[in-house]
Chains A and B, each alone.
Chain A
Amino acid sequence: MSTLFSTIHPDELKMPVQNIQALIDSYHELRKSGVIRLGYDSEKQLCFLFKRGELINTYLVTPDKWEPLLPEQSSAWMLSAGDAYVRPLLLSSFGLLMTKLLIQTHSQSDTTSVPQNQLREYLEMIRNKPEATLLHLTWKNAAGAILFAPKADPYFNFISQNIVLDQTGSYKIFHEWEEPQCALTSYAPDLSVEAWQEYYLRSAFANLCERILIRFETLTGRSLVDSFVQLVSVFASRQNLDISITARKLADHEVFSSPQIATQNYRFLLGEMFQYFSAVIGPRLNTATVQEIVKNMPEQERQIIRTFELLPKGYFNE
């Protein structure tokens, strides 16, 4: 396990505890999303993850293990640990999920040292693998992570002293970075890890919603789907969720403190959706449609739907 920016840069200065507390308070007050990493001489790191000002997770990370801390524990630990090297970072919800994946996943393989001029080929090779792979790349002065998933654009974070990238798409910054050697660790999905569970819940929810929308549009036409899309915003805002549908694609800007909380929220939205669809196409056809869609989803997503009982009762039929 690792944090995205585990390296403490030589330019980082130690910050007194009261200033750290003020920084944390500013994340709350300004409703910021991102991570505050506190680094200590003991090689321990304390990571605070914020979503729109709300502290969703705190992790205590050492080179060989991690543990989640409750908010009161983390506050006490921070106060007792004293001054720390601080790296605050603003991240998107998916950037936060990537951070959680990096912290929580054990690598099955050792870290490989890859010459920078071979990195492009190396990344292309991993990108073409049929299963999802999370890579953690570190240089002396930068670090980054890329998530390659089948049928999805790569998502990456790249952090140096002056550059912070948190986005999907072209990751050429990685092979254009001018340092001779890159340390690369790869992580495979592990459904026993909470962060991966959340990742697959998120992916299953998006996949399910998009497939249902296509089917619903086929059955009812565009205008009813348009009015439904408006309702999704209403349902989501009622739950204080930043989830919407744009151009028939689900825009999920959420990250949750645990897969259980993610399930609760996704299940609520799906329940509202199914209630709407049932009112239009009838409960019988709606149930049959959802069952058919779930049957054709990737196995990992079906497994996560089954394990977390993501669908309301009666919709999962295996």
Chain B
Amino acid sequence: MNKDSKSIIFMPVMLAYDVIAILLLIGYVYIYQYAPLDESLNDTVLNTITAFAALLVAAIATAIYLHYQPADFPRKIWLYLMIGCWFWFIAESLWGIIVYIEGEVSSPSIADTGWVGGFVFFTIAFYHQYSIIYPSQKKNIIAVSIGAWALAVFAPAIGLLITRTFTWESYINYYYPVADLFVGIAGIALMFVFQGGALARPWFGLVVLGISDFLYAWAEQTGVYAWSAANSNLLTLAIDTTYLVAYLILGMGFLGHWILINYGLRGKR
């Protein structure tokens, strides 16, 4: 396929993604709000929609990774972003399966290994991205990455141990907001660096995901979070919808990047 014939497909690809995203969002909000199916089926469909959005993100990240050649520096970034995304897709799927089987997910659960693993790989992706931008600052970037991880891992544990309220459940509930915060900060800093440029797009979704996950962790910690669509409240709807929207935005940012690297800046021709 030559470049011209390839260029014909890039608009429909984005359009198709937008249509799928809107349909997913409408279906999600409708089922959440009106719970038209059996109680467990409603939750299963909702969790499947979220897992599907995560799958789309992982698939697009894989396409981007495969586009780069081995000598391309950004390939390293996308290798770890891709692995992180697949980890999160696995986590979302496990979460949905556990909710389907048990109705509620204990904390910590096996799904948490997916999210925590995802964070590890996102950190490595951030490291490579910052190293490319600031090649002379590699040691500092490593130090900040390790420091952020140490803080995310040990600060909740130390706080809980000091207040003698340590349980694995409470630890996990404190770990996520801190980890989300760091992902958010790292992502916002990259958006600041790439401000006004197309390379800011992929990181924007990660920031939104960090914020929405932070909100979920907060709701779960404060007991506001409702576990079932049948007894949901408006805040839970907003938090869960934000979470789905974050995946969809992340996917949109990734797809924008895929189009950019495949077809360049179309407006400049």
B132 sits at the interface (CB 8 A): yes
B193 touches A285 (CB 8 A): yes
Q: By the criterion CB–CB under 8 Å, are A227 and B193 in contact?
A: no
Check B265 against A285 for contact (C-beta < 8 Å). no
CA distance A246 to B200 in the complex (A): 29
Contact A276 B72, CB 8 Å, known A219-B133, A282-B199, A285-B197: no
- List chain B residues, Cβ under 8 A from A240: none
Q: Residue among A220, A230, A276 with the most chain B CB within 10 A?
A: A220
Q: Decide if A280 touches B198 in the complex (CB within 8 Å).
A: yes
0 or 1 for each of B232-269: is its CB under 8 Å from A? (1 = yes): 00000000000000000000000000001111110011
Residues of chain A within 8 A of B261, CB atoms compared: 220-221, 223-224
**Complex: A283 Cα to B192 Cα, angstroms:** 10
A248 shortest CB reach to chain B, Å: 12
- Whether A282 contacts B200 in the complex (CB less than 8 A), given A218-B132, A221-B68, A234-B269, comes out as yes
- From known contacts A223-B67, A224-B260, A284-B193, infer whether A279 and B73 are also in contact, taking CB-CB under 8 Å: no
Say yes or no: is A222 at the interface (Cβ < 8 Å to chain B). yes
- Determine whether A231 belongs to the interface, using a CB cutoff of 8 Å to chain B: yes
Chain B: CB-nearest residue to A281: B197
Interface residue from B68, B71, B133, B265 paired with A280 (Cβ < 8 Å): B265
We find that the number of chain B residues with CB closer than 8 angstroms to chain A is: 27
Contact of B197 among A217, A222, A283 (CB under 8 A): A283
Please, which residues of chain B bring their CB within 8 A of the CB of A224?
260-261, 264
Q: Is the CB of B268 within 8 A of A279?
A: yes
Contact with A along B197-229 (1 / 0, CB 8 A): 111100000000000000000000000000000
Contact: B197 with A280, CB < 8 Å? Answer: yes
Residue of A nearest to B263 (CB): A227
Considering only residues 256-276 of chain A, those with a C-beta below 8 Å from chain B are 275-276
Which residues of chain B have C-beta atoms less than 8 A from A220's C-beta? 74, 199, 261
B69 → chain A closest CB, angstroms: 6
Decide if the interface of chain A is mainly helix, strand, loop or mixed: helix
Q: Is A177 an interface residue (CB 8 A)?
A: no
Instruction: A222 to B75: give the CA distance in the assembly, Å.
Output: 10
Residue in B closest to A289 when the chains form the complex, CB atoms = B133
Q: Tell me, in angstroms, the Cα distance from A227 to B267 when the chains sit together.
A: 12
B193 in contact with A222 (CB, 8 Å): no
| Chain A residues in 8 Å Cβ range of B68 | 221-223
Nearest CB of chain A from residue B117's CB, rounded to whole Å? 26
A221 near B72: Cβ-Cβ < 8 Å: yes
Q: Are A285 and B262 in contact (CB under 8 A)?
A: no
Report, as a range, how many residues of chain A touch the other chain. Answer: 20 to 34
Asked if A237 lies at the interface with its beta carbon under 8 angstroms from chain B, I say no
**A236: shortest Cβ distance to chain B, in Å?**
14
Least Cβ distance of A116 to chain B in Å?
A: 49
Is B73 in contact with A221, judged by CB distance below 8 angstroms? yes
Decide if B167 is an interface residue (CB 8 Å cutoff).
Answer: no
B189 CB to nearest A CB, Å: 12
- Can you name the residue of chain B whose Cβ is closest to the Cβ of A218? B73
Query: Is A228 in the interface zone, CB < 8 Å from B?
Result: yes
Query: Counting CB contacts under 8 A, is B12 at the interface?
Result: no
In whole angstroms, how far apart are the Cα atoms of A254 and B154 in the complex? 63
Contacts of B193 in A (CB 8 A): 282, 284-285
Q: Does A128 contact B (CB under 8 A)?
A: no
B194 within 8 A of A: yes
CB neighbours of A285 from chain B (8 A): 133, 193-194, 197
Task: Judge if A278 is at the interface, Cβ distance under 8 Å.
Answer: yes
Complex Cα spacing A25 to B2, Å: 44
Interface residues of A in 20-59 (CB under 8 A from B): none
Q: Which residue of A lies closest to B64 (CB)?
A: A221
Contact mask B173-209 → A, CB, 8 Å, 1/0?
Answer: 0000000000000000000111111111000000000
B194 touches A276 (CB 8 A): no
Sample of 6 more A-B contacts, CB < 8 Å, known A281-B197, A282-B197: A218-B73, A223-B262, A224-B261, A283-B196, A284-B193, A286-B197
Q: Could you list 25 examples of A-B contacts with CB < 8 Å?
A: A217-B73, A219-B199, A221-B75, A222-B69, A223-B67, A227-B263, A227-B264, A227-B265, A228-B264, A230-B264, A231-B264, A234-B269, A279-B198, A279-B265, A280-B197, A280-B260, A281-B197, A282-B193, A282-B200, A283-B195, A284-B192, A284-B194, A284-B196, A285-B133, A285-B194
